[in-house]
């Protein structure tokens, strides 16, 4: 069985907006959510910038009792999902709930609770941790909360594949519907790892961007000659995916049709990206979508602003698209919302879907002098409106060599 899958609802909590409209509007305006971190541990860091979610008040969404058992990353997921479900007008009968599920991605899950547990264990005598520490910190907490809230009794799966986690979550949710295991899915990812421990670990890896001396918001510079690394962020994105017949029957608003997906492994190095693996993943996604490279009108790049990553991704795009590559707009929205780790694939796919929906392409900001080895159209510094987009692609390439590519096109009935 193979069925068509459409996107009917969107929800997002991010450093550049806490709903899809605000999120995309700020991306188009080139608004940076990267700032000096506001946290009591900042003085212990040598790199003090990050992309934090602002204007998010947990007390506006959850009771005090609920908050005792719901970690920050799960809070993000629940609020993003509520937006998506309301946007889709999704109502499920008891029978339909048994054929609906959740796929989410997260790298660290409840990072704050995990870190607090270690601090209490190592610094208190006798050691004592919160009774709910396991339930707060487990990676599948967000997906489980969504399943419980909406009574979704189909697959409940959490993927942890570093930066590609939520892209794979969306892709595997798509497969659940495409191959007949489900009729509707909530899919996305959530991350909240702006903690002292996580930040120190990334500092030690030496992949974090240096703060721009003139403007902290300009610190992430994908494809730029003077790029210095990635900027950690936090947030969540959740999409409602449905079987097309169900969506059309109930008169749902349809943002796009999800037509292509592939995931694969470089199988070569734990941190160094490999354009050959990325090329293979893009080609496989195109093959599933029954599209040619020239059919792609916009690519939301993985574009982390690391030295090797940007070059390898550019190589992969050129390998796949050949002579057409310079004519395909490519942008890295990480320049604005930072790297949301386990949530980033879903956030960026949502940016691509919104680009398709709005017929507008968000920019790569902070790109004033491109790296000579990055010689594509990266939509530098200013978004493009009133463009013709029929098909968009989103790339996610992770540590561990885990690659994922998603393709969406305009829904034509």
> In angstroms, how far apart are the furthest CA atoms of the chain?
66
Query: Which H/E stretch holds residue 394?
Result: strand 391-397
Give CA–CA dist 204/122, Å, rounded.
21
Asked if 40 and 111 count as a contact pair (C-beta separation under 8 A), the reply is no
Give CA–CA dist 306/367, Å, rounded.
14
**Nearest alpha-carbon partner for 410 in 244, 259, 186:** 259
Active site residue 220: no
Q: Which two tokens stand for residue 223?
A: 């494809």
Asked if 209 and 274 count as a contact pair (C-beta separation under 8 A), the reply is no
Asked if 256 and 237 count as a contact pair (C-beta separation under 8 A), the reply is no
Q: Which two tokens stand for residue 242?
A: 């449905």
Running DSSP on this structure, what letter comes out for residue 294?
A: G
Give CA–CA dist 294/23, Å, rounded.
28
> Exposed/middle/buried for 118, CB within 10 Å: 0-12, 13-18, 19+?
middle
Asked if 7 and 256 count as a contact pair (C-beta separation under 8 A), the reply is yes
User: Given 107, 163, 220, 374, which residue is catalytic?
Assistant: 163
- Catalytically annotated residues: 163
């Amino acid at each position: 069985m193979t069925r068509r899958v459409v996107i009917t609802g969107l929800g997002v909590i991010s450093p550049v907006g806490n709903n899809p409209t605000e999120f995309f509007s700020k991306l188009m305006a080139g608004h940076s959510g990267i700032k000096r971190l506001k946290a009591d541990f900042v003085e212990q860091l040598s790199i003090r910038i990050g992309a934090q979610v602002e204007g998010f008040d947990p007390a506006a969404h959850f009771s005090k009792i609920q908050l005792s058992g719901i970690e920050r990353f799960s809070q993000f997921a629940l609020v993003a999902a509520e937006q998506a479900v309301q946007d889709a007008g999704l109502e499920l009968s008891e029978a339909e709930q048994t054929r609906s599920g959740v796929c989410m991605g997260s790298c660290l899950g409840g990072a704050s609770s995990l870190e607090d547990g270690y601090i209490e264990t190592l610094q208190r005598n006798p050691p004592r941790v919160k009774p709910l520490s396991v339930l707060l910190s487990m990676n599948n907490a967000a997906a489980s909360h969504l399943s419980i809230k909406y009574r979704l009794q189909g697959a409940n799966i959490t993927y942890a594949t570093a930066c590609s986690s939520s892209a794979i979550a969306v892709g595997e949710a798509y497969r659940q519907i495409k191959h007949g295991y489900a009729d509707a899915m909530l899919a996305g990812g959530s991350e909240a790892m702006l903690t002292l421990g996580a930040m120190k670990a990334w500092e030690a890896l030496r992949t974090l961007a240096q703060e721009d001396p003139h403007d902290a918001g300009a610190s992430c510079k994908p494809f730029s000659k003077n790029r210095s690394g990635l900027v950690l962020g936090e947030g969540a994105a959740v999409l409602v995916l449905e079987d097309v017949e169900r969506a059309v029957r109930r008169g749902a608003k349809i943002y796009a049709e999800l037509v292509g997906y592939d995931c694969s492994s470089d199988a070569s190095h734990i941190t160094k990206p490999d354009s050959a693996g990325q090329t293979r993943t893009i080609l496989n996604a195109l093959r599933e979508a029954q599209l040619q490279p020239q059919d792609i009108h916009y690519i939301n790049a993985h574009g982390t602003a690391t030295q090797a990553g940007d070059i390898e991704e550019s190589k992969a795009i050129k390998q796949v698209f050949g002579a057409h590559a310079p004519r395909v707009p490519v942008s890295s929205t990480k320049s604005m919302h930072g790297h949301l780790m386990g949530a980033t694939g879903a956030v960026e796919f949502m940016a691509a879907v919104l680009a398709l929906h709005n017929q507008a392409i968000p920019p790569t900001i902070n790109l004033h002098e491109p790296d000579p080895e990055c010689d594509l159209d990266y939509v530098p510094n200013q978004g493009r409106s009133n463009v013709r987009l029929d098909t968009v692609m989103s790339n996610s390439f992770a540590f561990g060599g885990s690659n994922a590519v998603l393709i969406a096109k305009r829904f034509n009935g």
